[in-house]
Amino acid sequence: MRRLTSSLALALVVGSHGIARSQSLGKAWGGTRHLVISKSTFRGDKPPQERTFVIEPIDGGFRGTVSGIEADGTPMHLSYAAKLDGKYYPVSGTRPSDSTSFRRLTARRLESTRKVNNEVEATSTFALSADGKVVKLTFTLAGGKPGNILVFEK
């Protein structure tokens, strides 16, 4: 289940950055957000102690960094740079993931697919609130099984 939590975090960060820069949404997606555990749903996973993601717009896309502390006290960190073009981009850090891809669904919704060992592990949808303060990630595991729902706020 750790993979699912990191997939969610990864998807959130990547999705938020891409819209901010490449889809002319200004700074709405950019910035630092923190996981609100009380508003999130964990299916089979123990909630992390904390999770933060930073979205930095870059030319044609974004750079995402996710860090925090897992439920067992283990630190986690991952990062990537991606565009909203459906291509896969490498992920580095303490999570077992190879790559992630992003595409824009609407101005405030993104879809991300994450691969581990070149196999799809999870798909996630990122939804940005109208005021730009909240990002909600809804994960779907391989085979269509519902995953975690994470709520991040500025």
Among candidate residues 62, 154, 85, 78, the one with its CA nearest the CA of residue 116: 78
Question: Which residues are CB-neighbours of 34 under 8 A, at least 6 positions away?
Answer: 50, 51, 52, 152, 153
Give me the residue spans of the domains in the chain: 2-153
> Looking at per-residue confidence, does 132 or 13 come out higher?
132
> What fold is seen in the domain 2-153?
Lipocalin (2.40.128)
Residue 24: pLDDT band with limits 50, 70, 90: very low
Q: What is the pLDDT of residues 72-122, one digit of tens each?
A: 999 999 999 999 899 999 999 987 678 999 888 998 998 999 999 999 999
CB atoms within 10 A of CB 36: 13
| Residue 46 scores a pLDDT above 80 | yes
> Looking at per-residue confidence, does 64 or 8 come out higher?
64
Task: Please state whether 38 falls in left (phi above 0), alpha (psi between -120 and 50) or beta.
Answer: alpha
Query: What pLDDT does 3 receive?
Result: 55
Query: What pLDDT does 15 receive?
Result: 44
Query: What pLDDT does 28 receive?
Result: 84
| Residue 5 scores a pLDDT above 90 | no
Q: What is the pTM of this model?
A: 0.81
Residue 123: pLDDT band with limits 50, 70, 90: very high
CA distances for 29 relative to 5, 24, 73, angstroms: 20, 10, 29
